[in-house]
Amino acid sequence: MSKAVTAILYAPGTNCHEETAAALERAGLRSELALLGDLLKGEIRLEPYQALVIPGGFSYGDHLGAGRIFAILLGARLRDQLTEFLDSGKPVLGICNGFQILAEAGILPYRRLGERAMALLANQSARFEDRRVRLLVSEQECLWTRDLAGQVLEMPSAHGEGRPLFCDSDSGASPRVVLKYSDENGAPTLHYPENPNGAPDAVAGITDETGLVLGLMPHPERASLAVHESQDGLKLFKNLARWLLA
């Protein structure tokens, strides 16, 4: 087991932190549940952690928009710590609500804290969608999907707001897509429900320019244990383990 410790950052309304810890443990990683309130009060700091995972749920009851309050608290009150964390090249993963938080905080797609360039809108169906999805891994450089390009990963997906909308970037940058919803032949698809939220270009997960940050709507931690129908999600956490142990 690695000495490096991964922080699983949670807040009121987060509800996937425990299974995320179980998935990290299965990948051979040590993790700690870090309560956002403890960080805000200065009782703990981000700096001792080697990686950060923001798990799924409905933080702060999705008030004012999914991930909004969490992201505001991160960006306004933990800006220095978070910038230092990101600048020191530590990996970050946002799953489902965690992805929504990274997007609302401006960390994805362009790693600009406080400058939003995307939104995760309500699903095309206007409903929460509990589905099992197939994700085609792209060639895009990303530590979380290293050596997985071309593979199709199966895992559960469960969310009401997961349809990405990107605004045009002045710098000409475009979002780096790592995972795409795909059909049973492994081809990216816009077809519902294989693409459960109507994501344009079938985008299910993106990384930043460093390849260290990954945000995805589906739930790799629910496809990580021996009792799960698929264990494809574990591959992402194993990639983190490989990176942290290297």
Partner 1 sequence: MAIYSVYVSSRDDAEAHHWLTFFRRHGYEDLKGLVIERVYWLEGNLRPERLLPLLANPVYQTTSSQSMLDPAQGPILEIAYRHAVTDPETPSILEAAHALGEDGLEFARLSKRYQFCGVTRQDALRIAERFLFNKVVERIREPHELVTTLRPTGEPDPVTTVSLAGLSDEELQALSAARSWYAPLSQMRVIQAHERRIGRPHTDAEIEILAQSWSDHCYHTTWKSLGLLKKLSEATARIAHPLVVSAFKDNAGGIEFYEDWVVTIKGETHNFPSSIAPFGGVATKHGGVIRDTLGFGKGAYPIGGTTIMGTLDPAMPENQVPEGALPPQLILSESIRATAYYMNPMGIPMMHAIYRRHPGYAKCLALGHSLGLIPRKYALKDQPRPGDALLLIGGETGRDGIHGATASSASMTQETLAKESAAVQIGHPITERRFTTAIPALRDRGCIRSITDLGAGGISCGAGEMGAETGVALNLDAVPLKDRSLTAWEILLSESQERMLIAVPPEKLDEAERLLDRYEVRHATIGRFTDSHRLEAAWRGQKVVDLKMSFLWGACPIDPIPMAAPKRELAPLRIPEPKTADEWFEAVHRVLRHYHCADQSAAGSRFDSTVQGRTVVGPYGGKNHRMPSGFYLSAPLRGKNYGVITTVAFNPLYGEIDPAGMAKLMIIEAITKAVVAGADYRELALCDNFYTPRVRPEVAWDLTRMVETIADFSKKIGVPFISGKDSSSGTFDSAGVSIEVPPTLAVMAFGRMPDVRRAVTKDFKRPGNKLLLVGHTDSHALSGSVYADSYGQRGDRLFDPGDGKSIRKLWDALVRVHREEGYVSASAIAEGGVFLPVFEAAYGSGWGAQIDLPRIMEDASTGTKSVVPFRNDGLLFGEFIGAALLEVPPGFDASRSFQGIPYVTLGNVTSESRITLIQEGKTIWQEEVSDLAEVWSKPFREVLE
DSSP, collapsed to helix, strand or coil, labels residue 80 as: helix
How wide is the angle at C-alpha 239 spanned by C-alphas 94 and 52, nearest 5°? 35
Which residue in this structure is represented by tokens 């709507």? 217
221 belongs to the catalytic site: yes
The answer to the question of residue 121 lying near partner 1 (CB under 8 A) is yes
Catalytic residue among 16, 129, 161, 219: 219
Q: What are phi and psi of 102, to 5 degrees?
A: -60, -40
184 belongs to the catalytic site: no
Residue type, 71: A
The answer to the question of residue 63 lying near partner 1 (CB under 8 A) is yes
State which of residues 5, 81, 112, 128 lies at the interface with partner 1 (CB under 8 A): 128
* List of residues 6+ apart from 29 with CB closer than 8 A: 1, 2, 4, 6, 237, 240, 241, 244
Query: Binding segment for partner 1 among 74-82, 143-151, 204-212, 237-245 (CB under 8 A)?
Result: 74-82
Query: Binding segment for partner 1 among 37-45, 87-95, 170-178, 206-214 (CB under 8 A)?
Result: 37-45
Q: What is the per-residue burial (b if ≥16 Cβ within 10 Å, else e) of 89-102?
A: ebbbbbbbbbbbbb
Closest to 14 (Cα-Cα) out of 238, 241, 239, 221? 221
State which of residues 2, 5, 22, 44 lies at the interface with partner 1 (CB under 8 A): 22
Output the six-digit token pair for 130. 């509990």
CB of 149 to partner 1, least distance (A): 26
The answer to the question of residue 238 lying near partner 1 (CB under 8 A) is no
Query: Binding segment for partner 1 among 80-88, 139-147, 165-173, 199-207 (CB under 8 A)?
Result: 165-173
The answer to the question of residue 228 lying near partner 1 (CB under 8 A) is yes
Which residue, 40 or 190, has its beta carbon nearer to partner 1?
40
Query: Is residue 137 a contact partner of residue 176, using CB atoms and an 8 Å limit?
Result: no
Query: Is residue 163 a contact partner of residue 192, using CB atoms and an 8 Å limit?
Result: no
Catalytic residue among 43, 47, 115, 229: 229
Query: Binding segment for partner 1 among 82-90, 157-165, 173-181, 236-244 (CB under 8 A)?
Result: 157-165
Output the six-digit token pair for 74. 């991160």
Q: Count interface residues toward partner 1 (CB under 8 A).
A: 63
* List of residues 6+ apart from 225 with CB closer than 8 A: 22, 23, 26, 231, 234
The answer to the question of residue 235 lying near partner 1 (CB under 8 A) is no
Residues at the site binding partner 1, with contacts judged by CB under 8 A: 12-13, 15-16, 18-19, 22-23, 25-26, 35, 37-38, 40, 56-58, 60-65, 68-69, 72-73, 75-77, 104, 114, 116-119, 121-124, 126-132, 156, 158, 160, 165-167, 193, 219, 221-222, 224-229
Known catalytic residues are 96, 219, 221, 229
